[in-house]
Amino acid sequence: MKTAIVNSLRFRYILGLTTLAILVTVSYFTMQNIVSQQRNFSQLVNLASHQSGLVNRISYFTGLMVLTDDRGEFDMAKSQVGRTVNKIKANHQILLNGSKEEGIPFVINEKLERIYSDPEFGLNFSLNRFLRHAEGIYQSNIDELTTESIDYLYMTTFGPHVLEPMIESAVDEYRSISKSSILRIERVELIIWLVSLSVLILEVVLIFNPLVKKTKFAINSLEKSISDHSASEKRLLNAQRLASIGDWQLNLEDNLLEWTDEIYRILGVKRGTYLPSIHTAIMYVHPEDRKAVENMLIDTREHKTPHSIEHRIVRPDGSERIVYNQSVAHTNDDGHVHSLTGTIQDITERKQIQNELELYRNDLEKLVEDRTYALQVACEDAEKANNAKSQFLSSMSHELRTPLNAIIGFSEMIKDYSNEISDDEMKEYINRILKSGFHLLELINEVLDLARIDAGQNDINIESISATEIIDETINQIVSGIARKYHVNLIFQADDVECFVFADSLRFKQVLINLLSNAVKYNIEGGSVTVKMKLNDFKLRIYVIDTGLGISEEDMSKLFEPFERLSHKNSNIEGTGIGLTVTKQLMEAMDGSIGVESTVGVGSTFWIDIPYDTGIKQVKNEINAAH
């Protein structure tokens, strides 16, 4: 359901941004068309206006040819007349047909057709007649020209005075056509702007408002989940304490034995001073009952059926207790037993009521101290959990508001000042809205990941996978991505032997991507990241070593807290501050662990331990050895 909601919001968001991008692109090309049309029409009007000046130029130089007696001055004027005649002819052809090379469009309408093509008074007819008289003067010698010649009289008394009004009429019509064309394009631009504004309003209504509501709902659900989880855990601990019963789990893949605090109390040992294992647990069983307990475990595993037994235990202080021990086997899809779980209940009171009363009288002070200590620990844990919840919600609210404020702020600026914003500024605002949107989506995805892990809803599929292959694949992905951006070299120092581990392949790769991405982003330019592997006590330890600035001792305690970016809060390095928190919880969900060592100014070394696939099951051997 949550994935469908996120995908729906993402689709609408991408659709809205795509529409805006198309509209901005169309607007850009429309503006380019306006500018091009204005430039082309401006050249057309200038060219038409220039014809009038050229006509006057011919009139002047033909008059100089007729009136001068100086041969040199005559030749100069004749040369000017010839060049100007050719120029007028060339310009006239461009005005009639247009020219792509010079950026002058072909323009014609009914009025221009009349101005140019009227057989008696048209510009074509008058201009050609004017040029014939000019060419007549141009082709005459200095001795042939007189002020009485027909060509000279036409050039001085008739020609320019007839042509200039016609040329001005053509220029005015060109200006009118240019203005009409530009106005049509500007109306299209206005329509595009109105559509863009409508799309922005629809995005606010259909995308951003639902996104805010879903975010608030997610926060409330997360708060309720944390509260319910804490209450359930407290009720379970109280129930186990009241019933004097604890539960245990034995992972047959790595022989890891885990049990709850109540079993520590039943055995009479404190958490942190004792490391559970099959061998050490059997040692607490009374020597006369050990064989029966070992057979119970072997039968549970081989027959895959629940078993139970009553037996005695001997505490470190030498006292004996009677317990009721139950065990059940858990299998994979293929029927292979991968773990044993069970409960241990202290039933000494039911078996030896009189002895138990005497024991309570002698150890009353110790029991009161133990109960007080347990209550204090529970209260401190509850207070820490409550403070952590409040801090997490406060940080998450701030982190989500930051990109959301950027999206709303730039959207309002585009809405309120769209007429005053240039194209470049508009692109910058839209890019910032897009970047903030993706950052907000990344935050929500990682918060949902974190919430699923905390709520126990994160599906983990543990299987034997090739660690070498996934590490190599992840390094290639990082090298082709952010490593190139930050100019950091990645080195994988691996043996030729392929290593297999028990993990979820997708989550294992997610852990590696988080660690390698951090090592690259917080490195120095030109630095390096080295990946090594080492087998250690049925665990494969993978090191990620960088040459960055390192982490101070003060920041180490906050390293795996959500939204903690330490000294990089105000840097321009992108990040949410949740990656390491998710990484730690994923490693714990896969029965692994994570650690770090760092030296300021030298670099940091993150390492993860993951169960190693030896191909050999050790549980039965340990039971036989204990026997």
Q: What is the pLDDT of residue 543?
A: 94
**CATH 3.40.50.970 given to domain 245-358:** no
Q: Please state, for a pLDDT cut of 70, what percent of the chain lies above it.
A: 75
Dist. CA 74–CA 78, nearest whole Å = 6
Report the chain's mean pLDDT, rounded to a whole number: 78
Find the mean pLDDT for residues 601-621.
Answer: 75
Task: Find, among 574, 580, 441, the residue nearest to 510 by Cα.
Answer: 580
Q: At what angle do helices 364-416 and 423-454 cross, to 10 degrees?
A: 160
Q: DSSP 3-state assignment of 558?
A: coil
DSSP secondary structure letter of residue 499: P
Cα of 538 vs its chain's centroid, Å: 37
Gyration radius (Cα) of the chain, Å: 45
Q: What are phi and psi of 259, to 5 degrees?
A: -150, 165
Task: Find, among 60, 71, 57, the residue nearest to 141 by Cα.
Answer: 71
DSSP secondary structure letter of residue 574: -
Per-residue pLDDT band for 594 (boundaries 50, 70, 90) equals: very high
Dist. CA 515–CA 529, nearest whole Å = 10
Beta carbons of 155 and 134 less than 8 angstroms apart = yes
Per-residue pLDDT band for 447 (boundaries 50, 70, 90) equals: low
Structure-derived torsion over alpha carbons of residues 443, 449, 451, 455, reported in degrees to the nearest 10: 180
Per residue in 20-33, pLDDT (tens digit) is: 678 667 666 665 65
Q: What is the pLDDT of residue 8?
A: 67
CATH (residue range 460-616): 3.30.565.10
Per-residue pLDDT band for 541 (boundaries 50, 70, 90) equals: very high
C-alpha neighbours within 13 Å on the C-beta side of residue 412: 6
Q: Is the pLDDT of residue 206 over 90?
A: no
What DSSP letter does each residue of 8-23 carry, written as one string?
A: HHHHHHHHHHHHHHHH
Per residue in 231-275, pLDDT (tens digit) is: 776 776 676 666 678 888 888 877 778 888 888 888 888 877 777
Q: What is the pLDDT of residue 616?
A: 43
Task: Find, among 164, 189, 168, the residue nearest to 38 by Cα.
Answer: 189
Task: Find, among 365, 341, 348, the residue nearest to 312 by Cα.
Answer: 348
More confident of the two residues 472 and 117: 472
Q: What is the pLDDT of residue 29?
A: 63
Q: Which residues contact 324 (CB under 8 A, 6 or more apart)?
A: 308, 309, 310, 343, 344, 345, 347
Q: What is the pLDDT of residue 545?
A: 94
Q: What is the pLDDT of residue 611?
A: 93
Dist. CA 391–CA 403, nearest whole Å = 19
Indicate the length of the chain as a whole number.
627
Per-residue pLDDT band for 620 (boundaries 50, 70, 90) equals: very low
Boundaries of every domain in the chain = 19-198, 245-358, 460-616
Q: What is the pLDDT of residue 23?
A: 66
Q: What is the pLDDT of residue 76?
A: 93
More confident of the two residues 414 and 452: 414
Q: What is the pLDDT of residue 617?
A: 39
Per residue in 123-165, pLDDT (tens digit) is: 888 888 888 888 888 888 888 888 788 888 787 776 677 788 8
More confident of the two residues 28 and 114: 114
Q: Is the pLDDT of residue 290 over 50?
A: yes
Q: What is the pLDDT of residue 479?
A: 82
Dist. CA 169–CA 118, nearest whole Å = 14
Mean pLDDT check: name the lowest of 39-48, 166-175, 324-333. 39-48
Token readout for 209 is 């408002």
Find the mean pLDDT for residues 201-209.
Answer: 75
Q: Is the pLDDT of residue 80 over 80?
A: yes
Q: At what angle do helices 467-478 and 505-521 cross, to 10 degrees?
A: 40
Element (H, E) at 246: strand 245-251
Per-residue pLDDT band for 619 (boundaries 50, 70, 90) equals: very low
Q: What are phi and psi of 361, to 5 degrees?
A: -65, -40
- Burial tier of 569 (Cβ tally within 10 Å: 0-12, 13-18, 19+): exposed
Q: What is the pLDDT of residue 623?
A: 42
Q: What is the pLDDT of residue 208?
A: 66
Q: pTM of whole model > 0.75? A: no
More confident of the two residues 83 and 495: 83
Which parts of 158-307 fold into alpha helices (H)? 159-203, 209-243, 261-267, 278-283, 290-303
Q: What is the pLDDT of residue 618?
A: 40
Tokens 């300021």 found at? 600
Dist. CA 314–CA 316, nearest whole Å = 7
Dist. CA 160–CA 53, nearest whole Å = 10
Task: Find, among 364, 307, 38, the residue nearest to 183 by Cα.
Answer: 38
Q: Is the pLDDT of residue 388 over 50?
A: no
Dist. CA 273–CA 546, nearest whole Å = 35
Task: Find, among 65, 58, 67, 80, the residue nearest to 129 by Cα.
Answer: 58
DSSP secondary structure letter of residue 204: I
Token readout for 568 is 């990089």
Per residue in 561-580, pLDDT (tens digit) is: 765 555 554 455 555 556 78
Per residue in 460-508, pLDDT (tens digit) is: 889 999 999 999 888 888 887 788 888 899 988 877 667 899 999 888 9
